Amino acid sequence: MELKRVVVTGLGAVTPIGNTPEETWKNLLAGVSGAAPITRFDSSLCKTHFACEVKDLDVNAYIDRKEARRLDHYTQLALISAMQGVTDSGMDLEKVDKNRIGVIYGVGIGGIRTFEEEVMAYAKDEEKGPRFSPFFIPKMISDIAAGHISIHYGFHGPNYTTTSACASSSNAIADAFNLIRLGKADVIVSGGAESAICMCGVGGFNAMKALSTRNDDPQHASRPFSASRDGFVMAEGAGCLVLEELEHAKARGARIYAEMVGEGMSGDAHHITASHPEGLGAKLVMEAALKDAQLKPEDIDYINVHGTSTNVGDISEMKAIKDVFGENAFKLNISSTKSMTGHLLGAAGAVEAMASVLAVQNDIVPPTINHDENDKDEEIDYNLNFTFNKAQKRTVRAAMSNTFGFGGHNACVIFKKYAD
């Protein structure tokens, strides 16, 4: 069968550097860091006292106050990003077939803040018995954000959640892409959300020694590909891509940001948290995405890398890029937007896919910030263009976005300029 073409017609984003896609993109290009001291809870008992929190978001501007209280923060963020994306897509919801519109959202952890709050409240009052809120389970479970988006709009198409740690929302976007091109849906609201900045989240990642502890200088803590990197900076937020079958989009006169042309998935089969030291899984997933997109390495102009600012991960991804792209690796622009947003865990892929789409649309690559020329790692090849510290204008015919998760889950998506 002939596969259908899939385009991006709507974007949504709530991030540590902006509460809309426009604000987030502006601050990405300006090299703004979203890192600051934690306000969500008293972090004094943790080794890390900072994170990239969403700031100044008026949840009740989008969601009724009573309803918002019944949602975990990650679901609030997911629903808001989807509302932005659907509005941005310009769909007339009275004219579209809602049976052909789906929702696939990724999340790595889900309602951990609700879980922590409920269990701690129970522990303090144990003698009264199990007085959990009746909303405890519906607020906590990881699939509920996709459910709320579907319920809000009455979308009856494919509806589920992908969970593959930090690759979760890239897997959601890949699944949406595949279902549309197979003809199983006309539109899928896809993306991801995460909100794990709490004692359990920060304390747990601290115990693994995964987080930066640069408490005296939070804004410069996320420093991918720099020698002094000491772990990732936890972030929260959500991103949305409205993916749509091309003819469906054209029939309603939709604005098209870019065309999605390929996806790849692979497993490291190596370690529960560390990436393969030679980047085997990363190499396989990029090769798979290129093959699926029917593109050659020289067709890619920009890679939004996983680039978490961890010692092993940054090096292994760089090795994989050199293996896959050969001499073309030195003609690419590479950047890690996590240097600004922090690591959004299950939402990372969606926000970074959005950045890749906008790079394709606007012919400009956001930077990797916080690098100092005197802070070079001898294991990293600085002949590669990591787009350090300043956005760079260039023609971006096609962009690739990489996300890799604990458990060895790898996902890669590719977007290119739309041409009829």
- Active-site positions read 166, 306, 343
Q: What angle do CA 318, 108, 85 make, to 5 degrees?
A: 90
Task: Give the alpha-carbon dihedral of 51, 234, 222, 209, to 10 degrees.
Answer: 110
CB contact at 8 A, 233 and 343: yes
Give which of 151, 119, 149, 112 is closest to 133, Cα–Cα: 119
Alpha-carbon span 383 to 395, nearest angstrom: 20
DSSP bridge partners of 189? 103, 242
Instruction: Indicate the residue type of 40.
Output: R
Give which of 259, 202, 176 is closest to 53, Cα–Cα: 202
Alpha-carbon span 285 to 29, nearest angstrom: 27
Show the 3-state SS of 192-228: EEECCCCHHHHHHHHHCCCECCCCCCHHHCCCCCCCC
Contacts of 231 (CB under 8 A, 6+ apart): 209, 210, 211, 212, 213, 309, 310
3-class state of residue 244 by DSSP: strand
Backbone angles phi, psi at 62, to 5 degrees: -110, -40
What count of Cα atoms within 13 Å lies in the side-chain half-sphere of residue 347? 34
Give the relative orientation of helices 199-207 and 112-124 as an angle to the nearest 10 degrees.
100
